[in-house]
Each structure stands twice: as structure tokens, then as C-alpha cells.
Amino acid sequence: MSELRECPACAMPTAADAPECEVCGYEFPEPKASFRPSVWLFVGLMLLFALPALRVVGCVG
């Protein structure tokens, strides 16, 4: 299964995962690495687990 997207240069459908248009050779711009909520969710979970662990270490040390 391969998704198609319309080339902005020649308006022809081309493979979405192709780096450039198969018809006219138009190079698609790289998708920007935007804000990822999953990363912050991961950081939040790490803090939730890290804070109690630090407290335990502090009591022992």
C-alpha cells in the first residue's frame, strides 16, 4: 500500500514516499520535525518515575 500525493509543480499524483516527483522531477520539501506530544509524554513519565527514585536515593545516602 502506497499513498499518493499531488505534485505542486505538475499536479500529477505521485508516490507519497518518493523524494521527488516521478513525472517532472520536482523535489518535495523535507517535512519539518515539529512538536511531538509523545516526546513530552515520555519526559513526563520519566519525571514521575525519577522523582520518587531520587527521594529514595536521598534518604539512603
Residues forming the site for Zn ion (CB under 5 A): 7, 9-10, 21, 23-24, 26
The CB-of-9 to Zn ion minimum distance in angstroms stands at 4
The CB-of-43 to Zn ion minimum distance in angstroms stands at 40
Distance CA 11, CA 24 (A): 10
Instruction: Select 24 or 54, whichever has its Cβ closest to Zn ion.
Output: 24
Instruction: Select 2 or 38, whichever has its Cβ closest to Zn ion.
Output: 2
Length reported for the chain: 61
Instruction: Select 6 or 42, whichever has its Cβ closest to Zn ion.
Output: 6
Report, in angstroms and rounded to the nearest whole number, the Rg of the chain calculated over CA atoms.
23
Residue 9 DSSP symbol: T
> Which uninterrupted H or E stretch holds 5?
strand 4-6
